[in-house]
């Protein structure tokens, strides 16, 4: 289905005189490119079309966010929080984008600094990525940003979902000092810790017991995974409050994953800082955003069985009369013409 839909996209582009280049497509013997290198290879596109599920969407997002390109997600996956259209609707979606009939929803992203450039030691990549194809290279240092004064090296990272620091060895948890806005919150011994965006709150952070945040929220979500301590709750920080993770002296090595992709390994004494990026990702939307409808559908939420005798809940709550002045600033579902 993906190959067939890709052919549809190429034919549409040819018919409209628009260039079309494959991105982040590789063979087993080939190396993958960083997001910036992939972007330049593709000729700095205005639109990235992803064919797959949310994982494929994230691969396109890391490239698109580098130059403010928009991303249109064509759904071939199982969850589909980020994808927008079905395969059968891809031509109509491209027409809408081309003729100005689409809207764009902006999402917060994360970026990083580190005490040193990230590296993946020989042998670890093949162990951790067995059966998953070639890994992305470690993120390069952004040399346009001045180094020194203890602030670490700015990395060329754009994360839409999350940055995760996790243990490498099954019998060793990772031990981390966690700092919010420069002040120590706690020292954690855990399987992993997750720093997520509101978009990523429905991914790994949610699976680890974190809250679901509206994608319209500006926040950073910190969630520990299986911590050996009493305090095991998520902390929701403001978007301008950086979160630093320092590997403690007696910890084992820790893997750093960005949007689910292994990008480096930290040794005891190393640290990373994760913070809100000035870059936003632009998602193509063909209809008004309905995050809570997607939440209900994707997680197959239903009313409690105990309420079945009382009748089903209405899909929307919105009186048919005009919206009162004191409510007009709120996000409300459309009226009877929906």
Residues assigned a catalytic role: 54
Of 165, 226, 217, which Cα lies nearest the Cα of 191? 226
Q: Return the H-helix or E-strand segment holding 93.
A: helix 90-98
Report the 10 Å Cβ neighbour count for 121.
11
Q: Whose CA is closest to 139, among 115, 161, 122, 155?
A: 155
CA distances from 151 to 146, 147, 154, 195, 273 (A): 9, 7, 9, 19, 9
> How far apart, in whole angstroms, are the C-alpha atoms of residue 263 and residue 117?
11
As a whole number of angstroms, the distance between CA 203 and CA 212 comes to 9
Q: Work out the burial of residue 27: count CB atoms within 10 Å of its CB; fewer than 13 is exposed, 13-18 middle, 19 or more buried.
A: exposed
Question: How far is Cα 91 from Cα 72, in angstroms, rounded to an integer?
Answer: 12
* φ/ψ of residue 243, rounded to 5: -120, 120
Say whether 169 sits in a helix, a strand or coil.
coil
CA distance 318 to 314: 10
- In Å, the largest CA–CA distance within the chain is 66
- SS3 label, residue 145: coil
Contacts of 26 (CB under 8 A, 6+ apart): 32, 133, 134
Query: CA dist 274 to 62, 81, 241, 246, 327, Å?
Result: 16, 24, 9, 11, 36
Coil, helix or strand for 284? Answer: strand
- Both tokens of residue 151? 């602030």
């Amino acid at each position: 289905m993906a190959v067939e839909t890709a052919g549809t996209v190429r034919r549409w582009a040819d018919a409209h005189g628009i260039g079309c280049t494959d991105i982040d497509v590789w063979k087993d013997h080939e190396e993958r490119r960083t997001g910036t290198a992939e972007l330049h290879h593709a000729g700095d596109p205005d639109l990235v079309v992803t064919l797959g599920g949310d994982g494929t969407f994230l691969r396109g997002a890391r490239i698109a966010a580098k130059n403010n390109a928009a991303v249109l997600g064509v759904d071939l996956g199982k969850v589909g929080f980020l994808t927008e259209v079905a395969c059968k609707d891809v031509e109509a979606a491209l027409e809408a984008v081309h003729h100005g009939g689409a809207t764009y929803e902006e999402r917060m992203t994360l970026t990083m600094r580190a005490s040193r450039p990230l590296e993946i030691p020989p042998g670890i990549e093949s162990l951790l990525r067995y059966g998953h194809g070639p890994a992305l290279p470690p993120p390069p240092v952004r040399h346009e940003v001045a180094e020194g004064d203890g602030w670490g090296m700015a990395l060329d990272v754009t994360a839409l979902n999350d940055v995760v620091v996790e243990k490498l060895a099954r019998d060793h948890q990772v031990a981390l000092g966690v700092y919010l806005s420069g002040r120590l919150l706690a020292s954690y011994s855990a399987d992993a810790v997750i720093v997520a965006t509101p978009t990523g709150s429905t991914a790994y952070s949610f699976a680890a017991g974190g809250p679901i945040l509206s994608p319209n929220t500006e926040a950073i979500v910190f969630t520990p995974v299986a911590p050996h301590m009493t305090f095991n709750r998520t902390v929701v920080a403001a978007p301008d409050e950086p979160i630093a993770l320092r590997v403690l002296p007696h910890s084992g090595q820790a893997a750093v994953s960005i949007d689910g992709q292994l990008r480096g390994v930290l040794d005891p004494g190393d640290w990373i800082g994760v913070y809100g990026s000035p870059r936003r990702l632009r998602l193509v939307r063909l209809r008004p955003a309905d995050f809570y409808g997607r939440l209900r559908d994707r997680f197959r939420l239903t009313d409690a069985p105990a309420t079945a005798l009382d009748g089903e809940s209405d899909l929307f709550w919105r009186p048919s009369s005009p919206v009162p002045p004191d409510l007009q600033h709120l996000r409300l579902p459309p009226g009877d013409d929906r």
